[in-house]
Homo-oligomer: A and B are copies of this chain.
Amino acid sequence: MAVYTEVTDDALAGFLEAYDIGRVVAFRGIAEGVENSNYSLRTTAGDFILTLYEKRVDPAELPWFLGLMEHLAAKSLPCPLPVRARDGRNLNPLAGRIAAITTFLPGIWPRRPTAAHCAPLGAALARLHVAGADYQAERVNALGPAGWRPLLERCGDSADRVEPGLGDALAASLDGILDQWPQSLPRGQIHADLFPDNVFFLDGAISGLIDFYFAATDFFAYDIAVCLNAWCFEADLSFNITKSHALLRGYQSVRPLGAKEGAALPVLSAGAAMRFLLTRLYDWINTPDGALVTRKDPMPYYRRLRFHTQTTSATDYGL
C-alpha cells in the first residue's frame, strides 16, 4: 500500500496550475513503495509520478534528494527528473504534504532477479557513483554504522520476542562489525537502498533507478554490499555466487574496485545485512497490529548476516 494521503481532483488541478505540464488526464494510486504516497499522473503533456512525502521523510532533506536526482538525470542516469514549477520550485505543498512531480520511467522491476539482471545492475550502480562524484553536497547516512547501535538499543528486549537470544547475538555481531569497519574507502553519493523494486528493466537493459530517499554520502563499496544482500540470495536464503560475480563484474566494467574496497566486502556486507535487519526489527516491534503497512520479516537478514560473518575475502563474492 503506498497511498496514505488522498488528493482531491480540485486540489490536484490547483497544484498543477503552478506547472507547465498541461491538465490532468489520468491519476491513479501506485501500489508499490512503502514510505511515501505515489500516484501515476498523466497530463496533456505526458506521464509523470506525483509523490507526497509522508511523515518518515524530513522535509529539510528533500532538496538534497531532489538535487541529487536532478544531478544524476543531467548525466543521463535513468533516474526520475524532478519537474520544476514555473517559479523554479520542485517541491510544493499539496493536501497537507510536501509534494514533487518527477518524470515517468518505463520498465518493470524484476520480481525474480536472475544473474542476467545482476551485470547491468552492477554497471548502473557504478555509473551512479561516478555521476554523483561532483554533486558537492554531503548527506550523513543516518542508517550507516553510527546509527546501528542506537537502533539496536531502541529495540531493547523486544528482539528476543522475535527469536530468543536474538538481542545478545546481534549486539555481539554488531561489535565485531564496528571493530572491523574500514576507516576510509572511496566515498561519494550512494543510493543505499537499491533493491529489485527500485530498478526497472526493459528488454534486458536498465530503464530506471528510483526511490533515492535513503541516498547519502558514504563508501561506494557499501552500496555494492547493499546490492549483494538485496540481489544475490535465493528464496531459500542460500548465497548465489554467480549473481554476485556478475554484479561485481558489471560494476568493475565501469568503475574498478580498489584492493581495500574488495578486502572490505565481507564486513561491509555484514554491515548492510545488519542495517536492514535492524530497521526491519524495529518496524516489526513497533508496527501496531492491524496497521496497513506490510511488516517485513527481519529474520532473513539474520541469515544473510550469518553468511557474511563466515566469508573472509572478496573471493567469497566471486571477485
Contacts and interface: CB of A to CB of B under 8 A. Distances in A.
Interface in A21-38: 23-32
A10 B112 contact: yes
A201 B9 contact: yes
B2 A31 contact: yes
A73 interface: no
A143 interface: no
A6 interface: yes
Contacts of A88: none
Given A3-B31, A8-B112, A26 B107 contact: yes
Nearest to A294: B292
A10 B28 CA distance: 25
Q: Please tell me how many copies of the chain the complex holds.
A: 2
B289 A25 contact: no
Contact of A12 (B10, B108, B289): B108
B112 A31 contact: no
B31 A29 contact: yes
A82 to B, nearest CB: 19
A112 B10 CA distance: 9
A4 to B, nearest CB: 10
A108 B3 CA distance: 15
A112 to B, nearest CB: 5
Contacts of A26: 104-108, 200
11 contacts: A3-B32, A9-B112, A23-B203, A25-B202, A26-B106, A28-B32, A28-B40, A29-B32, A30-B30, A292-B292, A292-B294
